[in-house]
Amino acid sequence: MSDTSTYSAMAMQLTARSLERLPDAAAARAAILEHIAEIEGQIRTSSIFVAQYSGKPVKLVVLPEYLFTSYPGRISIEDFAARVGFAANGPEYEALGGVAQRLGMFLAGNAYETDGAFPGFYFQTCFIVAPSGDVVLRYRRLLSMFAPSPHDVWDAYLDKYGLDGVFPVAQTEIGNLAPIASEEILYPEIARALALRGAEVFCHSSSEVGSPIATNKDIAKQARAFENLAYVVSSNTAGISGTAMPLSSAEGNSQVVDWKGRVVAQSGDGETFTAFSTIDLGALREARRTPAMTNYLARQRPALFAEAYAAAAEPFRGPNGMSDGGTPAIPDRDYFRRAQAEIIERLSKAGVI
């Protein structure tokens, strides 16, 4: 791997499609595969333009959050998993692998995924598919308001995947790639945990409100970049079709942030590829290896905070909330609000809030 390698990364701002109005799982599965086939042409033509414009070939494309399905709404966890959950070796990943292979680039995205070890569950999963067609990384979202987390079945999850499966980083010829899912960009601990495992480029798949006023997520993208000396390639949806919600409620502002925290490319509204920029691994790696006040990663002292975090953990959500005697147990949809209300009450009693 060359320290001086440079390439273009592109955040594809595309419309997510809700499948909730389709009649059955077969129709939903067919729509997913059709959508995957459609994006190949969009990525190919966009990458040709970017390569001609910038002089650097596109080697990394980041897709928006839940692009092929949208979010589950009030559908039960078990029903949604059966309807649209990607299996690890299923046809959806095979189709995405074919796209990555034919285009010769890394493809990062986000989908709901099933796991044979946790029947009936789905996890919101960020994936990275290599030009070989292989899925080289899958990360299950840890912090979500309305979706199961590996932490909810923590003991069983660690037994199967270990900590490497919780905070995965893909070491590739275009750098060390790591995913951040949607609102998790707001939590510095997740990016830091991945940076401490060597992450250099964060692939952020999101579906969020875009605004000319800096949003919480926009601010966080810049912070996660400079505090970890890492690039953030952030792809937002260009709206969500197939729901009663106005189409453009979650669109715009896809962007690339460099390791100094500067927004170097940003899209407007609608479907577009215009959030693209050069990734300069050599400059990033030199900065990480240079003693300086601005080398925030090297100045970090994780041991300082480990004890304080452990001491404060009691009132917050603990592990295994969806386990019953060690066996994963699927909750109803209202569980998520009840659980948060209980945590708020505990935080109040503990004097945290």
pLDDT of residue 2: 41
Looking at the chain, the whole-number percentage of residues with pLDDT higher than 70 is 99
Q: Is the pLDDT of residue 325 over 90?
A: no
Q: Six-digit token pair at 170? A: 């893909």
**What's the pLDDT tens digit per position in 239-260?**
999 999 999 999 999 999 999 9
Q: Is the pLDDT of residue 32 over 60?
A: yes
Q: Is the pLDDT of residue 4 over 70?
A: no
pLDDT of residue 3: 38
**What's the pLDDT tens digit per position in 48-73?**
999 999 999 999 999 999 999 999 98
Q: Is the pLDDT of residue 150 over 60?
A: yes
| Separation in Å, CA 252 to CA 19, 186, 201, 215, 319 | 22, 18, 21, 11, 35
Query: Model confidence at 346, in pLDDT bands (50, 70, 90)?
Result: very high
**What's the pLDDT tens digit per position in 13-31?**
999 999 999 999 999 999 9
End-to-end CA distance of the chain: 48
